[in-house]
Amino acid sequence: MNPALAAARAGLSRGRIEFKQTLTTPRDLISILITTGIFLAVMIWTRHTQVPGTHFSLGTATLVSVLALDVVYYGVVNMGDLIVVEREDGTLLRAKAIPNGMLGYLLGKVVNFSGQIAFVFAIMLLTGALLFTGLAIGRPGSWLTLAWVLVLGLLATLPLGAVLGSLFPSQRSAGPWWLLLLAGLAAISGIFYPITHLPVLLQWTGQAFPMYWLALGMRSALLPNAMAAVEVGHSWRHLATFGVLSAWAIAGLVLAPAVLRRMARRESGSTVAARREKAMRGA
């Protein structure tokens, strides 16, 4: 078998194993369920509030938009954070010490986080179908749109997460930035409130990042068509969504290999040992 193909297959199975580990490790599972649960609780609370200018449930609209937040959270923040951690603890060095190990490692991460995102989507949509009104999950077009937006979203976020993770020197230094990044993006991406109510400058800033477009795409898939009326330009702007998400995906895919290679090149037994000593002293 071709070595790269063998490594790719190993990577897929690595992702499956890691995903299974996430679901069977109580701490991880509970943390997923709690974050998802908190969002759902807020939405249930705002179920009877209406999106300004419509008679549509704000809770339902938020539920759909939060799916975009989830993609960015798992795809960029968790992916990046795990790369920082696994660089520190030597997992990456092990990958580097085996033939085509980095390929398998990264593919494993992609599978693992895609699995986690699918898992969270399932919880959200199931709850949405049972407890919320107005979710347009009956039409086949919804699922088709959801599928391409999600795939593009994964491509736009996962490589970006790997790049950001490679840039932070340690987990401790990375922590606060992730939170700032996520909260800041959510605030200007129209996740909890329509973006049209923000100052124009912030509207433009929000539209430069993938989270806004992911959320718009999710809303176009899962909300009634009439809801396009409260969006920028009164349209779902599918073409622009495709364009911006693709641009982020291409940028990430072009940048990631070089940045990851640079990071991996610096890894050796002594760099990992030095970090271990530093962590032990700090602990």
3-state secondary structure of 57: strand
Which is closer to other proteins, CB of 54 or CB of 91?
A: 91
Residue 178 CB, shortest distance to other proteins, in Å, is 20
Residue 14 CB, shortest distance to other proteins, in Å, is 6
Residue 264 CB, shortest distance to other proteins, in Å, is 9
Residue 109 CB, shortest distance to other proteins, in Å, is 14
CB-based burial, 9-47: b 16+ in 10 Å, e otherwise: ebbeebbeebbeebeeeeeeeeebeeebeebbeebeebb
Which is closer to other proteins, CB of 10 or CB of 67?
A: 10
Residue 91 CB, shortest distance to other proteins, in Å, is 4
Distance CA 212, CA 125 (A): 19
Distance CA 32, CA 185 (A): 20
Which is closer to other proteins, CB of 176 or CB of 270?
A: 270
Which is closer to other proteins, CB of 259 or CB of 272?
A: 272
CB-based burial, 201-237: b 16+ in 10 Å, e otherwise: eebebbbebbbbbbbbbbbbbbbeeebbebbbeeebb
3-state secondary structure of 49: coil
Q: Which residues bind other proteins (CB under 8 A)?
A: 1-3, 6-7, 9-10, 13-14, 17, 21, 25, 86, 89-91, 93-94, 96-101, 104, 267-270, 272-273, 276
Which is closer to other proteins, CB of 2 or CB of 201?
A: 2
Which is closer to other proteins, CB of 225 or CB of 268?
A: 268
Distance CA 111, CA 109 (A): 5
Residue 158 CB, shortest distance to other proteins, in Å, is 21
Token pair recorded at residue 1: 């078998």
